[in-house]
Structure 1
Amino acid sequence: MFLFYSSLLLLGLSIGLLLLVIPKLVSGCHEEEREALLKFKHGGLQNPENRLSSWGSSGNKDCCSWPGVGCNNSTTTRRVVKLDLRNTNLDEYGRPLLNFSLGGKIDSSLIHLQHLTYLDLSGSNFVNAIPDFFGTFEHLEYLNLSYSNFVGRIPNQLGNLSNLHTLDLGRNFYLTVDDDFAWASSLSSLLYLDLSRVSLSFSELNWLTNFSSLTHLYLSYGGFHGSMPPSMGNLTSLEVLDLSHNSIYGTIPASFSTNLCKLRILNLGYNTNISGIWQRWTGSICLANSLKELYLSGIDMRSSSTVLLSTIGNLTSLEVLDLSHNSIYGTIPASFSTNLCKLRILNLRYNTNISGIWQRWTGSICLANSLQELYLNGIDMRSSSTVLLSTIGNLTSLEVLDLRGNSIYGTLPRSLTSNLCHLRVLRLEGNSIRGMERSIRGLCNSLEELNLRGNQLGGDLQVLWAQISNISRTLKILDLSNNSLTGYIPYSSSNGGTMLPDVLEELYLDGNKLSGNVILQNIAKFSNLVTLSIKQNSLPIVITEDVLIKLERLEGIYLSKNRLVWKVKSRWLPPNIKRIYLSSSQVGPKFPLWLQHHQRGGVSVLAMSNASISDDVPDWFWKITTEMKILDLSHNQLRGYLPSIGMSTWYEILDLSNNSFYGPIPEDLCMLKSLQELRLSNNHFHGDIPDCWGKGGRNLFYINLSYNNLSGEAPRSLGNLPSLAFLHMRNNSISGEISSTTKNMKNLLVLDLAFNRFSRVPIPTWDTAGEDLSKLRILSLRSNMIHGNIPSEISQLSSLQFLDLSHNMLSGVIPISFGKLTGMSRKHNEKDKHFDFETPGFLYFSAIDSIWMNLKGVELENSGTLGFMNHIDLSSNNLSGDIPKELTHLLELVSLNLSGKIPTGFQLQTLNDSSVYVGNDNLCGPPLFRKCLTNDPPNMGKDGEEKRGKEDEIEIIGLFISIALGFVVGFWACCGLLIFKRSWRTWYYRFADEMMDKVFVTVAVRVGRLKRKFNKSAEI
């Protein structure tokens, strides 16, 4: 009995204990941490797509089961140890899609998660500083804040994270570090460090000394300027090192190649002044055994290419080698092709003067068995293409061959195609290849991509198409654009079989001379097509849903610049369509109703510029475009009030130019996080420009608000756009002071404020103006209300090519310092017509812009050659003094306009082109052939000006006296005779009566004839 009661007592105690513990087990995580997570969610965090909607929902109180939250396995305390809220939705370039990114404020309640070992917020869009309290997570081992748009200084408190082994802050384009970054040395456990795209311009690299355990180091695009410290050799555990796209110069320390014996991947690309590195590798057994991938692109090797190539030949473990854009010339040493027997990928693009490489490969069993990818595009092969192509035919393991833009002429040798039976990708774009039918016939049946864009292919497409269909049943990408092909695509052969495999996914036929609807009817039978592009064929095409209904996988359709009529039912849209390009085609005149029925978030690109649409934009349209990346409706006759579109819209490019939109510009536009280009020119927008720029995204690089009715002051917040490169606000009524704003526009290339009401030149008047606006190439302030002297600080703009200050109220002299405008002294090449620029938020951009300019009284829009145009226009002002002789230093100046009251001086004699003076018929003297009437030299200086002024006054008085005398004499000569001579007066009045009668009779007769004719027509 005692045993029985003892058992009952023990059971009761156990149940009681369980009742105390179960609530904690049921709740899963610690109550304080659960509340902290909920405060984080509701404390100002922007949560698009409701990614955290299940946090705290009814029936889900256990925070350990919430998405992105991980807890330890303890049965009693269950603490949050992992918070993984990264954005896994990426675009085609690997960048996070912002419409899935967390943003806003990081609430300080997270400080209660003191057991965190793993924190990942990558791919977010916070646009705030990294919270200092992150430095209190003393157990943290993994911290990833990359690609999250954090700004400002990296907090020193992160130095407290002594257990950290992974720190990734890369691609936060507006993050900076302290001058010495000394606190980082306390992170002694660090294995992985990524600070790529973080500004290191004020930091030395000595802080790397203590990272002896570091295995991965990424410091690309850091703006670092200096030599590589010897302490870099202390990183003896390093396996991956990326120092590309900096300004590292000088020699490489000897310890670099002797101590880094575990280095597998090295990227030193685009550090143009590195030297001494090649000798350090000679005989380095250490690197020869370890280095697998070497990237040295963008380094000027003209003076050291022979040493470089010989040295690289000793790195026998190399598998990937990138020597593109290096100005390498001369012959390739034998060791290059005999020792590198593990080389899989070789990139020699854009080394125009390489020779001898082709012979080295002939018979090279070493490379023939290993090389899988070869990139030789951008090399001039006019004199060696036959030898090159035949030699490449020996590299039988090749899978990818890129020969784009190599000036290859004629037909391809049979040996190139018949031996490469592993070839998957063949790119021959931008050559002068013709007669491909025979060459294609020899290709093995393994090809997945064939690019023949921009060659000299001609004749009937069916012939070429038949050859392509015979050699590959695996072809997925075919590009025959920009040739001279005619005819259409036959879907079936003469025996009824299909002419191409159903696996074809991308087809590009732009810029040919193909036939009309037959081509679409046959293309529609390729049911696996994902991308279809037949732009610029002038095809008479009528698009109906019957043509494309079978293309269920179609995501991109490019039909611009054809004689195309889009006729589909109002409720039809291809089910998976994402990109629609219908520019320069007949979509209108009514606004397309079929767009109304596509699912929100479906179409990401809609380009319908110049589509003959003349209609009001319906309200429903703006609601379905909120997740579009590119919206181009320019050059139509669209009308409407631009509504508030909401800050959650994801436009990257918004082009509504050349329409009839009206009303104010909504503030939402300057709050858009993803916006890169905004084009609203040539509309009827009015009111003030919103003053909220930079509060959303900071990647906006192009703004065009020209030719509207905007007024008020220029918003100062434009200075919050660090990426801004193009700013056009021409032909409005904008005023105010923006020189303080331009101080922050360090990437500005074009500033066009012509035809407004500005009263001052918007150029900073401080000593660093040349540094702050060092990239500015175009400055147009024509026809404003600018007064005072021309700021001498303009001469600090070292890149300036186009300066228009005409039709203002400027006075004083032309600054002598204008002779220092070095952008007008150097020769420009073909590349200069593009505006190439790099911004904190983007890797690289290249654009062609346009601007209006006045040449000899004619307004011209200059676009394609704008980069070549060196132009100064100071006409129609009140300038005085001498023309500075220093202007003769501007050797590449194309146009100089000083018309109006021209300042004095002999410098115009250096302008020997007589067409400069056309329209000034009374000019005389050198350099014109017309001599002046007197032998006196031109009046110079102040006395001469005063004398000329007095002469002008006498001439004006004489002119008025002559007019008065002429009027008096003429009046009395006519009227006086009629008054005093009766016979003349009688004759004059008789003549007037006869003329009146004659006119009356003539009119009456003609009117009568018309009446009779009208009555007769009415009777019939």
Structure 2
Amino acid sequence: MLDLRNNSLSGHLPPKILNMMPRLEYLDLSNNKITGVKDMILDGRPSSLEQLDLSYNSLHESQLVSLGNLSMLRSLNLGSNNLKGMLPEGIKWLKGLTYLDLYNNSLSLSEDDLTNLSSLKYLDISYNSIYLNKSDDWIPPFQLDTLWMGFCQILPMPQFPKWLRTQTDLRELDLSNTGIKETIPNWLPSGLQYLYLSDNKITGEIPQFFPKLKYLSLSNNSFSGNLSPRITNTMPSLQWFDLSMNNMSGGIPFSYCRSSNLERLQLSENNLSGEVPNCWKNSSNLLLLDLSNNKLVGGVSDTLCNLQMLESLHLSYNNLSGPIPHCLKSCTELSTLDLGHNNFIGNIPTWIGESLLYLKTLSLRSNAFNGSIPRLSFLPYLRILDLSNNNLSGTIPQSFGSFSALESAPTYQCCYFNNDTLYAEDMLLFIKGSEIKYTTSRQLSIDTLIDLSNNYLSGSIPEELGNLHGLRSLNLSGNYLIGQIPRSIDGMKQLEVLDLSRNNLSGAIPSGLATLNFLDHLNLSYNNLSGSIPTGNQLQTFTDPSIYIGNPYLCGPPLPINCTVNIAKAIEEEQNKDSSKSRMEILWLYTSITLGFITGFWMVCGSLLLRRTWRITYFRAIDNMIDKLYVVMAVTVAKYKRKL
């Protein structure tokens, strides 16, 4: 046995490499950069090699001629190479071959190429240019237990290949995206355990004649009508059921809640109506529940809280309402909580940041949540946070700079769930002004996002956000934020999207923004920013002036405003504004004095003219005051005369 996978090996293999190791039975050279394997064996001596893995390299078909000499070969994996055209001649004569993997090449395979492979049990020809249905009477020389031929790119198959009738031992069958338009025939082997028929145009009813089936994928077809309540009874071993992107209607039968083996249920993008069933008591193994993009109403069922193993919950794009039930805090294994685009109300619960410690994705966008943002920085794995389009108020918590999963650059991960299951995770994220559908865990694992746009947030942007060195998208647009753009923003080295538009930010644009080498989407429009736009590095690539529109005191490229002229104009406008303000104050002062005099004069004189008794009283009082004043003055003058 010789295992050299994942070693960045390049070039050709040494000539006669198998002659040098006559007892070698297992050779794994996968995930390298090998370009040639010609002349692996030259002198005709028999080789003991039984398993050869050359997948994920850079091979092409002309170098595989010598494989025909490997008479003992039982397993051959050539997936994800650069093979083109017809099947290499050497492979056609490997009569003892039981395992053949040609996944993701550009081969054009025909029935004739498989005539001699009578021992074949496993065949993967998916993602090629293959068509195996030239004649209805062709009888394969083999009896397969696994056939993968999904996403074949040439000549669609409007019907299920008739030769599949002979494959009575089939356990796994993948015909995804092959152009099939008919109903699922009942002659398919009843012993099937894995059946993948997604991305076709299959019509009719959902099959119920596979008692051993574990995985059934029927997504993106033309199934219609109501969901069958008997499906989980007729397929008791079902673990994964994907019926998303069809035209199913009606309510969700209670039987779907009661299947104890079901781990993944996907019914998204249909026309299902009614409420979320209140029957999730026996679904103890359910890991993923996706009911998004339907017409469901009512609140979140309390029995969902019984799903203690649940790791992904998608209820977005429905008409659900009410608050988030408090009991959902018991679903402590959740990695994804997606409740966006509904009518949920109330505050965002504080227990989300205290109990759901495995949470990686939290989307509550486009609801009616209000109040302040709770502390969420205790969530060590949170990478995607979308609270946009709500009624949230208050300030952005300073603790947002403490998300540990955002402090370093993201890395690709094979699995998104806590138990390392290989289920793909589907998710709609709003990035760069449009929604993007993520269909693989690898895509989700590499993206990091904070979106607080279109709320009523106030205060300044916390300097602590600069600690998020791994954040790729930050959207704070459509709020009432004030102050300056924090200079610490240059710490977000992975930032690709920055949207601070439609706020009340002021001051200069930090020069550190030009050091963000990955930035490719920027919007600072409709603020009160001033000064010259920084130049150099990444900012030089932003030539669209609309990203700065609505900031009258910004100048420099790409705006047509010259900074020198702009500064002089700003000073002149300020002086004119002060002069105008001074004139208005003087005018208001004189106007007030005049109005006061007129009002006081007529209040006194008008009263005396209109009331005779008031006039007599007034003038008598004046006479008395004059008499008293005369007496006081006469006495005072007399005293001074005596002293003299």
TM over 0.5: yes
1:401 aligns with 2:6: no
Using a 3 Å threshold, how does the CA distance of structure 1 residues 875 and 568 change in structure 2: closer, same or farther? closer
Query: What CA deviation, in whole Å up to 9, does each residue of 1:650-671 have, x standing for no partner?
Result: 2222111111111111222222
Query: Conserved in 2, the CA contact under 8 Å of 1:752 and 1:780?
Result: yes
Cα deviation, residue 917, structure 1: 5.8
Aligned to 1:838: 418
Aligned to 1:785: 368
1:511 aligns with 2:116: no
Aligned to 1:642: 227
Query: Conserved in 1, the CA contact under 8 Å of 2:16 and 2:39?
Result: no
Aligned to 2:313: 727
Aligned to 2:118: 527
Aligned match for 2:67, one of 461, 465, 468? 468
Query: What CA deviation, in whole Å up to 9, does each residue of 1:832-873 have, x standing for no partner?
Result: xx444433xxxx324553433334533333555433333222
**Structure 2: how far apart are the matches of 1:716 and 1:534?**
46
1:427 aligns with 2:20: no
**Structure 2: how far apart are the matches of 1:521 and 1:640?**
42
Using a 3 Å threshold, how does the CA distance of structure 1 residues 775 and 436 change in structure 2: closer, same or farther? same
**Structure 2: how far apart are the matches of 1:655 and 1:543?**
31
1:500 aligns with 2:79: no
Aligned to 2:328: 742
1:561 aligns with 2:561: no
Using a 3 Å threshold, how does the CA distance of structure 1 residues 573 and 459 change in structure 2: closer, same or farther? closer
Aligned to 2:504: none
Which residue type is aligned with residue 39 of structure 2? R
**Structure 2: how far apart are the matches of 1:419 and 1:666?**
64
Which residue type is aligned with residue 905 of structure 1? G
Residue correspondence of structure 1 range 298-447 to structure 2 within 5 A: 400-414=1-15, 416-441=17-42, 444-447=46-49
| More helix, by proportion | 1
Query: Conserved in 2, the CA contact under 8 Å of 1:573 and 1:597?
Result: no
Cα deviation, residue 407, structure 1: 1.1
Using a 3 Å threshold, how does the CA distance of structure 1 residues 454 and 533 change in structure 2: closer, same or farther? same
Which residue type is aligned with residue 859 of structure 1? E
Aligned match for 2:204, one of 616, 619, 634? 616
**Structure 1: how far apart are the matches of 2:35 and 2:522?**
51
Aligned length: 507
**Structure 2: how far apart are the matches of 1:435 and 1:716?**
60
Aligned to 1:452: 54
Aligned to 1:675: 262
Q: Which runs of 5+ in 2 are unaligned?
A: 490-509, 515-519, 535-550, 555-568, 573-644
Aligned to 2:436: 860
**Structure 2: how far apart are the matches of 1:546 and 1:581?**
22
> Who wins on radius of gyration, i.e. which is larger?
2
Query: Conserved in 2, the CA contact under 8 Å of 1:489 and 1:523?
Result: no
Residue correspondence of structure 1 range 36-55 to structure 2 within 5 A: none
Aligned match for 1:903, one of 463, 481, 499? 481
**Structure 1: how far apart are the matches of 2:83 and 2:163?**
35
**Structure 2: how far apart are the matches of 1:420 and 1:737?**
68
**Structure 1: how far apart are the matches of 2:475 and 2:364?**
14
1:918 aligns with 2:504: no
**Structure 2: how far apart are the matches of 1:784 and 1:803?**
14
Query: Conserved in 2, the CA contact under 8 Å of 1:455 and 1:483?
Result: yes
Query: Conserved in 2, the CA contact under 8 Å of 1:491 and 1:525?
Result: no
**Structure 2: how far apart are the matches of 1:451 and 1:739?**
51
**Structure 2: how far apart are the matches of 1:515 and 1:622?**
31
**Structure 2: how far apart are the matches of 1:530 and 1:868?**
37
Cα deviation, residue 583, structure 1: 0.8
Using a 3 Å threshold, how does the CA distance of structure 1 residues 412 and 582 change in structure 2: closer, same or farther? same
Cα deviation, residue 471, structure 1: 2.9
**Structure 2: how far apart are the matches of 1:567 and 1:858?**
38
**Structure 2: how far apart are the matches of 1:745 and 1:830?**
26
Using a 3 Å threshold, how does the CA distance of structure 1 residues 658 and 403 change in structure 2: closer, same or farther? same
Cα deviation, residue 795, structure 1: 2.4
Q: Which runs of 5+ in 1 are unaligned?
A: 1-399, 937-1020
Aligned to 1:479: 77
Using a 3 Å threshold, how does the CA distance of structure 1 residues 909 and 410 change in structure 2: closer, same or farther? closer
1:605 aligns with 2:194: yes
Question: Counterpart of 1:786 in 2: which secondary structure?
Answer: strand
Cα deviation, residue 887, structure 1: 2.7
Higher relative contact order, chain-length normalized (CA < 8 Å, sep 6+): 2
Question: Counterpart of 2:216 in 1: which secondary structure?
Answer: strand
Cα deviation, residue 764, structure 1: 4.2
Query: Conserved in 2, the CA contact under 8 Å of 1:730 and 1:756?
Result: yes
**Structure 2: how far apart are the matches of 1:739 and 1:516?**
55
Aligned to 1:959: none
1:893 aligns with 2:468: no
Cα deviation, residue 570, structure 1: 11
**Structure 1: how far apart are the matches of 2:194 and 2:347?**
39
Aligned to 2:252: 665
Question: Counterpart of 1:867 in 2: which secondary structure?
Answer: helix
**Structure 2: how far apart are the matches of 1:900 and 1:624?**
54
Which residue type is aligned with residue 227 of structure 2? L
**Structure 1: how far apart are the matches of 2:487 and 2:533?**
9
Question: Counterpart of 2:93 in 1: which secondary structure?
Answer: coil
Query: Conserved in 1, the CA contact under 8 Å of 2:273 and 2:296?
Result: yes
1:753 aligns with 2:342: no
